[in-house]
Chains A and B, each alone.
Chain A
């Protein structure tokens, strides 16, 4: 068995190395396809040898940022995480992470596994990895063309978790009814959530995906809604309601792109932190990471230090200097996330030049109708130039027109390179250009910037 594992790991390394040398990107998943052909149990065998066990992180929004936060805190605690960092979150991506951090005898050069897992991949990951903890962030409507309906994802998870050993910790978002329900009847469940009603609204916004009780089908009532269907809900019919969150934000001050002031209650005491990350969605990411790290036995001081020094995850949110101007890059992939980006970053009067890149490749989701659930109306008064790019540049332009952005301010340029030039040319000196791409468009933008020497290849970071 040992020889087979060694052969598999060697083949995986060679394949990744070749792929990188041939310029086929970072070889981020090629090893993941080669290894299982030689040793299908490689992932199971190696992860079982991790002394601190394995943590799986899944959910629609925030899993990459949350996993990176946890990884950062783990390093601060002296642990060496085995982490699929480049967002390669199918089983092949997990195997690739194993190849990168395991010696040829099959012993991991890490103490703890930390795997970000695609929602639909969770059952497959659970079949191969026995986790110490599973963190589930939320379920939103995202790429319905791939996964079907939100209730479908919830039921897939429910079935996958049914066989979970009782000693595995389940870390769940108390404010997402689809996710919180999964903790019913399990003793090892930790909930995280937002308790500060001042950052919510009394009304559930229209871009909400789960109106109906997962148990009985009646419409939920909300005391307060935070974003999408996250909030303090209860079912008037069967009584199902938001469970009490053990890790709970009790005071949240959102300071736009200057970040967030957060005070949270935890079983280990109060956590007071300044986050360099804006937006309530990042508050959730921080609460999720805190709950996971506490479950692993990391102390609160180490967690606080890690959170404060954390810088935004790759491409999710970053600033890049180009000439005298700053590019602000934020990934957009579904209505809830896009609305949060618009709400917290695109401030009235400041965001004058925007570049929105919408692709409809498989990894982006081939259905772009969700653009109609994004509140672009808030750009109508302030956007001076909106460059629309990507394979669905024209659809984006129509959406902006119907959001009442004047048509003489809308530029349609499907080619991302020319679109970037157009946006930079129209921005004033010292002005920030807001670049909002879907996933594959973000890879294209980064490749353009890399060729111009602005950023490194994403697999290096």
Chain B
């Protein structure tokens, strides 16, 4: 496993423009957790005007931004990268999109002042402006790992996302707002593309989810029978537990969820 030739490529979409909520933490977490297992994660920034080669990428990360940046990105993303991203997803590449990036992976995103931005339609989802922002810590239960596991993060969005039948939610909200504050869902999953409103950063505090992404990309590249070495996640799990416990203590958790 410590073979230095093990390599994965991550495309970081618009890192210069979409980086509002410590999104760099997700990249750092993936990079370190790969390195600690002898896998080199090459990060390739892809921004305005750049092309994206769907065959080369194992992982794609798309972070959050401000309305203004999203408006600038939307036409470039749809015109120059949309087809490649959709191809990559269909071919099994792993995608993580947070907040603004998540919204632009849906069909459309309508900004707070009413401008409708086109997305690339990886997720069967539409985002519209809401009357008040969902801000705060969020706890979600997901069954991605084959058993119910929690995801914790921080959300801060006024957009409300509604999912269609061709994707499923990433999890069920135990505490917080989630996709739209109404249907109790958070995030979206289609094949190995994952979108969510959770930042904070997401992956460092949810090591099982970080490993889920690495595992999917690694086995696709190097063989379905391989497994990742486990790591010592004492500190990460403590940080995770602190957010869960605080949500429980504040009593903001939906009844019957625990």
Contact = CB atoms under 8 A, between A and B. Distances in A.
Contacts of A367: 21, 135, 154, 156, 200
B48 interface: yes
B192 interface: no
Contacts of B242: 392, 394-395
User: Which of A149, A373, A395, A412 has the most CB atoms of chain B within a 10 A radius of its CB?
Assistant: A395
Contacts of B23: 372
B218 to A, nearest CB: 19
Interface string A357-401: 000000000111111110000000000000000001011011101
B215 interface: no
Contacts of B101: none
Contacts of A392: 242
Given A367-B156, A369-B199, A399-B204, A145 B135 contact: yes
A144 B20 contact: yes
Contact of B19 (A148, A151, A206, A219): A206
Nearest to B71: A217
Interface residues of A, number: 32
Contacts of B17: 211-212, 219
B73 to A, nearest CB: 10
A206 B200 CA distance: 17
A77 interface: no
Contacts of B92: none
A145 B136 CA distance: 8
A459 interface: no
Interface string A71-97: 000000000000000000000000000
Nearest to A373: B22
A144 B29 CA distance: 23
Contacts, number: 96
B235 A366 contact: no
Contacts of A368: 154, 200
Interface in B179-216: 199-201, 204-205
Contacts of B72: 212, 217
B236 interface: yes
A404 B20 CA distance: 23
Given A144-B21, A367-B21, A398 B235 contact: yes
B56 interface: no
B69 interface: yes
A369 B68 contact: no
Contacts of A401: 235-236
Interface string A43-55: 0000000000000
A141 interface: yes
Contacts of A371: 22, 25
A407 interface: yes
Given A212-B17, A394-B242, A398-B204, A145 B156 contact: yes
A139 interface: no
B239 interface: yes
A68 to B, nearest CB: 31
A234 B71 CA distance: 21
Query: Which 4 pairs between the two chains have the least Cβ-Cβ distance?
Result: A372-B25, A372-B22, A369-B22, A394-B239
Interface of B: 15-17, 19-25, 28-29, 32, 48, 66-69, 71-72, 133, 135-137, 154, 156, 199-201, 204-205, 232, 234-236, 238-239, 242
Interface of A: 141, 144-145, 148-151, 206, 211-212, 217, 219, 366-373, 392, 394-395, 397-399, 401-402, 404, 407, 410, 412
29 contacts: A144-B20, A144-B21, A144-B156, A149-B66, A149-B68, A151-B66, A206-B15, A211-B16, A217-B68, A366-B154, A367-B200, A368-B154, A372-B24, A372-B25, A372-B204, A373-B22, A394-B239, A395-B239, A398-B204, A398-B239, A399-B25, A401-B235, A401-B236, A402-B25, A402-B32, A404-B32, A407-B232, A407-B234, A410-B235
